[in-house]
Amino acid sequence: MQNKVVVITGASSGIGAALAELVTSRGASVALIARRGDLLGAVAARCGDRALPIVADVTERAQVKRAVDAALDRFGRIDVWVNNAGRGITRPPSELTDEDVDAMMRVNVKSVLYGMQEVLPHFKSRGTGQVINISSMLGRVPFATFRSAYSASKHYVNALTAMLRDELRQTHPGIQISLVSPGVVRTEFGVNAQYGGPDSRQLPGGQSAEEVAAVIAGVIEAPRPDVYTRSGSQAQVVEYYTGLGADAG
């Protein structure tokens, strides 16, 4: 972690803020991206002089490119890009509107795609680098009907991540593409979801943002392609799909 340059989107609160504070405590420099400048500045202040706050909307490709350029201007290189920005939505599939689906694609999918595509030329020029996409257990198993469009958007992120990894494996093996899947995290994610919803901080079995950040930091220090933040999650996914197969038979 020492001397790495890490870019984190959605860094003004929650997992992104916790990760920023953790990696700077371990010697990394960070470029922090979010729309809320006041909160972002407070996170950067807690991270010290190795932090660069960049106010930007990652649903706009031009602003993502500007953030890449700003990070390179300040630090000279980028070692890790963490696509963490995202938002939930509370609406069952039968009630989804065109605008609901467009919003989830814009916030949860396009922001990830833009991050990967805009940092990739830099990584290719160096022959090294790491993209970490933050997904969700709801991107593995559609547990929550009321999170239908969010779950679908995270399934999309999982596919993009896997396909980019396959694309680069032969031509640029030094570029690592990682996926991290948390479950419930005790942040304001739930109350900030479009149309409101259950408070994630009150749901059973949640992890703290700091616990999830520690897992992500571990993926930076020892890159792995596919990581869950809770023990037992992978078995839960296997059990779900095995059960579907049995029912279909």
Q: Please, what is the Cα angle at 206 between 153 and 41, to 5 degrees?
A: 70
Task: Indicate the length of the chain as a whole number.
Answer: 249
Report which residue type is found at 173.
P
Helical ranges in 203-248 per DSSP H = 209-221, 233-248
**What strands lie across the sheet with 129-134, from one edge to the other?**
51-55, 29-34, 5-9, 80-83, 129-134, 175-181, 226-228
The H or E element spanning position 176 is strand 175-181
Annotate 97-123 with DSSP letters as a single string: -HHHHHHHIIIIIIHHHHHHHHHHHHH
User: Is the Cβ–Cβ distance between 17 and 27 less than 8 Å?
Assistant: no
The number of beta carbons lying within 10 Å of the beta carbon of residue 42 is 15
The H or E element spanning position 55 is strand 51-55
Identify whether 156 is a catalytic site residue.
no
Residue 176, phi then psi, degrees to nearest 5? -100, 135
The number of beta carbons lying within 10 Å of the beta carbon of residue 133 is 25
User: Is the Cβ–Cβ distance between 189 and 147 less than 8 Å?
Assistant: no
Q: Choosing from 150, 195, 228, 241, which is the catalytic residue? A: 150
Looking at the annotation, which residues are catalytic? 150
